[in-house]
A and B are shown apart, each in its own frame.
Chain A
Amino acid sequence: MLEIRNLHARIAESGVEIIRGLNLTVKAGEVAAIMGPNGSGKSTLSYVIAGREDYEVTEGDILYNGESILEMDPAERAAKGVFLAFQYPMEIPGVATMEFLKVAVNSQRKARGEAELKVPEFIRRVKEEAASLGIDFAMLKRPLNVGFSGGEKKRAEILQMKLLEPKLCVLDETDSGLDIDALKVVADGVNALRSPDRAMVVITHYQRLLDLIVPDTVHVLYKGQVIKSGDKDLALELERDGYAGLIGEAA
């Protein structure tokens, strides 16, 4: 479903290269964990997949269902089913959360040639999904993410993911800032979306998330490249031994 070939990407403004020849394949139905020390390019990878224009791809390609997405803007990618759960969801004053959700859901439906959801049906769906994530419906009447706690923001990201039903989910450190109860709720939400026709890329530092969202494959990112891939046991090894040994091998 996702095939990244020899990807090179740099920060557009400074020209500093962050992703340096990255290869990664994630199949439909697969949950791939991306791990790696700080500064290895994990968040950059998530942004480049989502199409953030602060990064420039200088070489290589990202194929989604066999089609290059590099020329698409973030909205086009999202409409095709790419979703990024942000590490730091933006607070946007003045944009009401419900209004935002409605516009997002209907924009994607429209882009796919589907009929827009009627308001009562939309509200019913939001209420259902919010309840399953322990989100107080009153929170959704506030401006988008404004005044939400760290945990509330992460839940709101998963709520968006559930409403939008993407095909490729990239979760950037969804566990950061969550206490263990919130982590369980969020992981349950993610697990509920696991399906044979959906792929997930889970970026994290910690095994504790992978105890709850058990990955099919684990990839270690270092200096903008995947230096080792394995199954879920690789994550346990890293938890035990740290990155030092691996980095030494790669060097």
Chain B
Amino acid sequence: MNIHSTPKLTAAETALIDAFGERFSELPGDATVAVKRDDAVEALKAGLPTRRVEAWHYTDLRRLLTNVPGYDSTLAARAKPALLAGSTVLPVLNGVSGAGASIDGATVTRLVDKLLDGSFAPALGPREPADTVGALNTAFVADGYFIDIAAGAEIAAPIEIQNVQAGGQTHSRFPVRVGQGAKATIVERQTGAGNALTSSISHLTLGEDAELLWIIVQDQPDGATCLSQFNAELAKGSRLTLFFMNAGSKLVRQEIRVRMPGEGADFKLRGINLLSGDTHCDVTMMLDHLAENTTSTEIVRNVANGAAKGVFQGQIKVAKDAQKTDAKMACNTLLLSDEAEFSTKPELEIFADDVACGHGATVTEIDRNHLFYLMARGIDEKTARGLLVKAFVAEIIEELEDEATVEVLEGILDDWFAEHV
């Protein structure tokens, strides 16, 4: 239970509650959805979480959320070329989905239709009292896509969910169901222009023996706020690789919630946080090993410059029945300035007795000897630092193996370095 002793609402809290009042009649959904929205907004009225709420200890949302732009349907967001060549792009422009695309082996439905007929209502609502992202999104969710990949389908071309902002406020959902034995790659882009406030929640259900690569790239402008949640449930023998890169926004809260109820399921998390300026980025993972022989590895690499603050909370729970679980988590940070900060909180809760679980965290600075060596070969300081920083994070990308994908993601790194290092 969260007790907020602060009686007075902040400007941001007031703006959110007022926006709900103004928008409620226009928000899509049947009566079951409306009930969920009402409940969710009640949770917001109790106030945004402060550092006294454990899940938000390093990200005092009440203090940090100051940017609540109005909803503005007249803003134009422009779709971008696909990140990976040949992808099927599913755009959500300023919070509104386009027509569903036709993909061999998959069905794509606009989420607004599933809100209107109420079929999506059961998935709405906060997961627990501290699930502020879930509550905020439930109150305002207006669109997104439902992607249903048929059993046995092998979809070669990546499917790109392109969530493009135009500076207003948008709230979207992306449920994805992958049938038994299917294989696919999904790219989720959180991008756009202006100082938008975005909440975006995806739900992935991975069928037995299915294999999925999900790549999240968040490169919103410096003033944006991006609150997101990635939920996944892995059936027996399924394999999920989740790669994320945060290279933008003023305030980021990215929750990764993965449950492994299926025996032999495997989860790989590979993440890169590139932080600069006066920004705050919080990646919070909650992973449940619920069945035997489930395996997971998590590697997060962070580069923090300027006065940026970063957070990685990694919680791994191993249930009593999840014997032979193998989980390894690592969080490595490179600090490029004296004012930059990074907080890492690993949390292991193990109830099974025959498991291998480990975690490690490091914080380093650029090695001055390395820098001197590169400069002594005529490489100017900026380029040399860029090479060293890239060396620190690039191996996470190179693990993806597909050359074209590696090249595109390293290109984002290079652009970020050119601008921020």
Which residues of A does B touch, CB under 8 Å?
A: 50-54, 73-75, 77-79, 83-84, 86, 89-90, 92-95, 99-100, 103-104, 107-108, 111, 143, 160, 164
- Contact call B378/A75, Cβ cutoff below 8 A: yes
Once A and B bind, how many residue pairs between them come within 8 Å at the CB atom?
A: 77
- Contact call B383/A103, Cβ cutoff below 8 A: yes
Cβ of B390: which chain A residues have Cβ within 8 Å of it? 94-95
**With A75-B381, A75-B384, A100-B387 in contact, do A92 and B370 touch (Cβ < 8 Å)?**
yes
- Contact call A103/B381, Cβ cutoff below 8 A: no
With CB as the reference atom, state the residue of chain B lying closest to A92: B370
- Contact flags (1/0) for B367-400 with A, using CB distance below 8 Å? 0111011111111110110011011101100000
- Contact flags (1/0) for B261-278 with A, using CB distance below 8 Å? 000000000000000000
25 example contacts (A-B, Cβ-Cβ < 8 A) are as follows A50-B372, A51-B375, A52-B376, A74-B372, A75-B376, A78-B379, A86-B373, A86-B376, A90-B370, A92-B388, A94-B388, A94-B392, A94-B394, A95-B387, A95-B388, A95-B391, A99-B387, A103-B379, A103-B383, A103-B387, A104-B374, A104-B377, A107-B378, A107-B380, A111-B380
- Please report the C-alpha to C-alpha distance between residue A75 and residue B380 in the assembled complex, in whole angstroms: 5
Cβ of A74: which chain B residues have Cβ within 8 Å of it? 372, 375-376
**B interface residues, tally (CB under 8 Å):** 22
- Please report the C-alpha to C-alpha distance between residue A162 and residue B9 in the assembled complex, in whole angstroms: 68
- Checking A52, A78, A92 against B378 with a beta-carbon cut-off of 8 angstroms, the contacting residue is A78
- Please report the C-alpha to C-alpha distance between residue A104 and residue B387 in the assembled complex, in whole angstroms: 11
- Checking B369, B380, B383, B391 against A90 with a beta-carbon cut-off of 8 angstroms, the contacting residue is B369
With CB as the reference atom, state the residue of chain B lying closest to A94: B391
- Checking B370, B379, B388 against A107 with a beta-carbon cut-off of 8 angstroms, the contacting residue is B379
- Contact call A164/B378, Cβ cutoff below 8 A: yes
**With A75-B384, A92-B391, A94-B390 in contact, do A160 and B377 touch (Cβ < 8 Å)?**
yes
Cβ of B376: which chain A residues have Cβ within 8 Å of it? 50-52, 74-75, 77-78, 83-84, 86
- Please report the C-alpha to C-alpha distance between residue A108 and residue B378 in the assembled complex, in whole angstroms: 6
- Checking A90, A103, A164 against B373 with a beta-carbon cut-off of 8 angstroms, the contacting residue is A90
A221 to chain B, nearest CB (A): 21
B215 to chain A, nearest CB (A): 21
Which 4 A-B residue pairs are closest in the complex by CB-CB distance?
A: A94-B391, A78-B378, A74-B375, A108-B378
- Please report the C-alpha to C-alpha distance between residue A51 and residue B370 in the assembled complex, in whole angstroms: 14
- Contact call A111/B373, Cβ cutoff below 8 A: no
- Contact call A73/B373, Cβ cutoff below 8 A: no
